[in-house]
């Protein structure tokens, strides 16, 4: 079983890196982009076949390390 | 006084920290991150600057969860003293010992320059050798020093006077120009609720010799050591 964890900044948290990327896209002449927020993606190989167990492990991984919930949200998708 | 300086893979300021603590009169031992216990009789734990774990994931995130941090949390819960400087401050925030987080500098640049800090209070073991409102001349060197916290936390820090230092100019004025990393409320350092844990981005340990241009950093280490001389 595989999973993808996406960590993004919460709304309202200033994202200077996203802003810089947004500026770079504009300077490249890429049209139609209103704003950019940068996040992180983790592709995780699971050592279990039990979906409930996997969900619990991934939640623990996010809460304990992958996301800092002061500023970040996370989303877990199990394939 | 007995200090323990923690060393993580990627720490690089532990030597300066040991030197500053020794100069002030502390016994110092370095402690490796994989250890589970602090040396017996440790009064002060110091987390030095550097790039622990290459700043992977988030600055201080992996070090903040190292085995030794359980011992540091227990030490702090007993009222023991903890100081984190630069990456050490980031680790303290990531470990939950201090609130908030250090984000990428607002101007996206690694900043490295001399910096004045206003001493917000001097009734603590960390700052008693300074005057309240004094502008001390130290330096900063970081890419992620932009102190950020939610509104509630910020209100609590200000309401309970837990801000240790703010970025200021040479006259002690807290101005937007002096706040080069964009920190909320110009915060350069904060205390825990019980004032026994302190984290700061600037480096007091850099300015302890006339030879390198200043000694304003000494006050912090002398404050700590003198607190113990009195207690003993």
Please provide the average confidence, as pLDDT, over all residues in chain A: 94
Give the closest-approach CA distance of A36 to chain B in angstroms: 15
Give the closest-approach CA distance of A3 to chain B in angstroms: 18
| Amino acid A16: pLDDT | 83
Yes or no: say if B15 and B25 are a contact pair by the CB < 8 Å rule. Answer: no
**In terms of Cα–Cα distance, which of B113, B12, B10, B24 is closest to B61?**
B10
| Amino acid A14: pLDDT | 83
> For residue B107, is pLDDT > 60?
yes
Residues 6 or more apart in contact with residue A59 via CB below 8 angstroms = A76
User: How far, CA to CA in Å, does B54 sit from each of A67, B29, B50, B181?
Assistant: 17, 24, 9, 20
- Cα–Cα dist B191/B175, whole Å: 22
**ipTM for the complex?**
0.82
Q: For the residues B2-7, what does the mean pLDDT come to?
A: 98
- Residues B72-81: tens digit of each pLDDT: 999 999 999 9
Q: For the residues B6-13, what does the mean pLDDT come to?
A: 97
Percent of chain A with pLDDT over 70: 100
Q: Pick from B104, B106, B111, B143 the residue to mutate for testing the A interface (most A CBs within 10 Å).
A: B104
In chain A, where the domains are located: 2-78
Record: contact A70-B100, CB cut-off 8 A: yes
Examine the residue annotation and report whether B203 is marked as an active-site residue of this protein.
Answer: yes
| Amino acid A79: pLDDT | 85
The encoded tokens of residue B163 equal 């801000």
Q: Is B152 on the interface with A (CB under 8 A)?
A: no
- Cα–Cα dist B59/B144, whole Å: 8
Percent of chain B with pLDDT over 70: 98
Choice among A12-26, B7-21, B218-232 with the minimum mean pLDDT: B218-232
Yes or no: say if B61 and A68 are a contact pair by the CB < 8 Å rule. Answer: yes
- Residues A48-78: tens digit of each pLDDT: 999 999 999 999 999 999 999 989 999 999 9
- Cα–Cα dist A3/B75, whole Å: 37
**In terms of Cα–Cα distance, which of B168, B218, B213, B206 is closest to B188?**
B168
Q: For the residues B9-35, what does the mean pLDDT come to?
A: 96
User: How far, CA to CA in Å, does B57 sit from each of A17, A39, A65, B62, B64?
Assistant: 15, 11, 9, 8, 12
Percent of chain B with pLDDT over 90: 96
| Amino acid B232: pLDDT | 46
Instruction: Please name the helix (run of DSSP H) or strand (run of DSSP E) that holds residue B31, with its range, or none.
Output: strand B27-32
Q: Which CATH class is domain A2-78?
A: alpha beta
pLDDT band at A13 (very low <50, low <70, confident <90, very high): confident
- Residues B56-76: tens digit of each pLDDT: 999 999 999 999 999 999 999
Q: How many CB atoms lie within 10 A of CB A69?
A: 11
pLDDT band at B51 (very low <50, low <70, confident <90, very high): very high
Higher pLDDT, A17 or B32: B32
> For residue B230, is pLDDT > 80?
no
- Cα–Cα dist B187/B156, whole Å: 13
**In terms of Cα–Cα distance, which of B228, B230, B205 is closest to B80?**
B228
Chain B residues within 8 A of A23 when measuring between CB atoms:
none
Active-site option among B59, B86, B93, B168: B86
Examine the residue annotation and report whether B205 is marked as an active-site residue of this protein.
Answer: yes
- Residues B169-213: tens digit of each pLDDT: 999 999 999 999 999 999 999 999 999 999 999 999 999 999 999
Chain B residues within 8 A of A16 when measuring between CB atoms:
103-108, 146, 182
Residue given tokens 């006077």 in the structure block: B161
Residues 6 or more apart in contact with residue A68 via CB below 8 angstroms = B58, B61, B94, B101
Give the closest-approach CA distance of B211 to chain A in angstroms: 37
> For residue B231, is pLDDT > 70?
no
**Which domains occur in chain B, in start order?**
2-231 (3.40.50.880)
Record: contact B104-A13, CB cut-off 8 A: no
The encoded tokens of residue A67 equal 């996301």
Q: For the residues A31-40, what does the mean pLDDT come to?
A: 95
């Amino acid at each position: 079983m595989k999973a993808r964890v996406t960590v993004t900044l919460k709304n309202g948290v200033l994202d200077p890196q996203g802003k810089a990327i947004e500026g770079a896209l504009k300077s490249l002449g890429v049209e139609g982009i209103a704003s950019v927020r940068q996040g992180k993606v983790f592709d995780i190989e699971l050592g279990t076949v039990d979906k409930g167990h996997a969900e619990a492990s991934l939640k623990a991984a996010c809460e304990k390390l992958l996301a800092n919930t002061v500023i970040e949200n996370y989303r877990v998708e199990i394939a | 006084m007995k200090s323990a300086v923690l060393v993580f893979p990627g720490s690089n300021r532990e030597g300066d920290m040991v030197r500053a603590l020794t100069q002030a009169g502390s016994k110092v031992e370095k402690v490796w991150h994989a250890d589970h216990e602090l040396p017996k009789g440790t009064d002060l734990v110091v987390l030095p600057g550097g790039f622990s774990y290459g700043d992977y994931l988030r600055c201080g995130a992996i070090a903040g969860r190292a085995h030794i941090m359980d011992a540091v949390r227990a030490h702090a819960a007993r009222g023991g003293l903890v100081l984190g400087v630069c990456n050490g401050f980031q680790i303290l925030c990531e470990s939950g010992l201090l609130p908030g987080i250090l984000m990428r500098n607002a101007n996206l640049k690694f900043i490295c320059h001399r910096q004045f800090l206003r001493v917000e209070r001097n009734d603590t073991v960390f700052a008693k050798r300074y005057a309240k409102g004094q502008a001390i001349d130290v330096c900063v060197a970081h890419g992620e020093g932009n102190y950020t916290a939610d509104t509630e936390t910020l209100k609590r820090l200000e309401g309970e006077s837990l801000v240790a230092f703010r970025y200021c100019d040479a006259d002690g004025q807290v101005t937007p120009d002096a706040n080069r990393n964009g920190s909320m409320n110009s915060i350069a350092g904060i205390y825990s609720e019980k004032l026994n844990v302190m984290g700061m981005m600037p480096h007091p340990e850099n300015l302890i010799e006339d030879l390198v241009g200043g000694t304003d950093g000494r006050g912090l280490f002398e404050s700590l050591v003198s607190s113990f001389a009195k207690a003993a």
